[in-house]
Amino acid sequence: MSSRKGQRSAARVVREQIAREKRRKRTIWTSVAAVVVLVIAGLIGWSVYSSQRAGEFTAPPGANEAGTGVVLGSGPVTIDLYEDYLCPVCKQFQQTSGPTINQLVSEGKAKVVFHPVAYLDRFSTTEYSTRSSAASGCAAKGGKFKEFTDALFERQPAEGSAGLSNDELIDIGAGVGLNRDDFGSCVRDGTYKAWTEHVTEDASKSGVTGTPTIKVNGKELTDRSPEGIKAAVEAAR
């Protein structure tokens, strides 16, 4: 009698062990399936987000086909100019070599694609590089990109400061002939901030690591002097 009870008890223990093992396996496979679903969902979500993020920008009038810069002039040689409105060396470059570039454009020898990148936000307490670049898009919309760019470099704030306020940017725009209401709304709304991000990301992908960077027909210049730029343009014609 006790033997049969022992056998039944042993059989019950075995059944319980088998049942526990089945439950454990089901739990493991359920967890694995859940992780796989989350990973797949995450990849799909990131893919959708990336594609939307890459496409969610509006380039201002006058931008090149890729939307990575504003085109000035129509000459046969392309000068790509990457500058940050907070960059002191960019201001120096504009003072030294800007007139030469303007001359090459006016003579029909070159066109300039100006890429207003935002590399120096960390040197401003208000992300001035991004705000000023976005404002330049608003100026391009109003047909005063070059005039606004020149004025921004003339009024360049010090690194480490708050930079110019939106109201000051709007005053500068109005000073170069932009409609205060239209330009002001564009600046305050950050209409071209996504465009600024696109310009900056593209510059980084193109190997631009600092400003100013000047390329003539895709070749980066080491001699950024007026003579060096003229020589590069003549060689590329």
- Whether residues 132 and 224 share a domain: the answer is yes
CATH number at residue 116: 3.40.30.10
Residues 51 and 75 in one domain: no
Look up the pTM and report it: 0.77
In a domain, 65, yes or no: no
Nearest by Cα to 22 from 14, 79, 235, 61: 14
* Domain boundaries, position 41: 1-56
Domain count, the chain: 2
Assess whether 167 and 88 both reside in one domain: yes
The answer as to whether 167 is a domain residue is: yes
Q: Based on the fold, state whether residues 143 and 214 are members of the same structural domain.
A: yes
pLDDT, tens digit (0-9, with 9 covering 90-100), for 90-131: 999 999 999 999 999 999 999 999 999 999 999 999 999 999
Under DSSP, the state recorded for 63 is: B
Residue count of the chain: 237
Asked if residue 63 is part of any domain, the answer here is: no
Q: What is the distance between the alpha carbons of residues 52 and 54, in angstroms, rounded to a whole number? A: 5
In this structure, the answer to whether residues 101 and 212 fall within a common structural domain is yes
Residue 115 lies in a domain: yes
Residue 61 lies in a domain: no
Look at residue 8 and tell me if it is in a domain: yes
pLDDT tens per residue across all 237 residues of the chain: 555 555 666 666 667 677 777 777 676 656 545 433 333 434 343 333 343 344 589 999 999 999 999 999 999 999 999 999 999 999 999 999 999 999 999 999 999 999 999 999 999 999 999 999 999 999 999 999 999 999 999 999 999 999 999 999 999 999 999 999 999 999 999 999 999 999 999 999 999 999 999 999 999 999 999 999 999 999 998
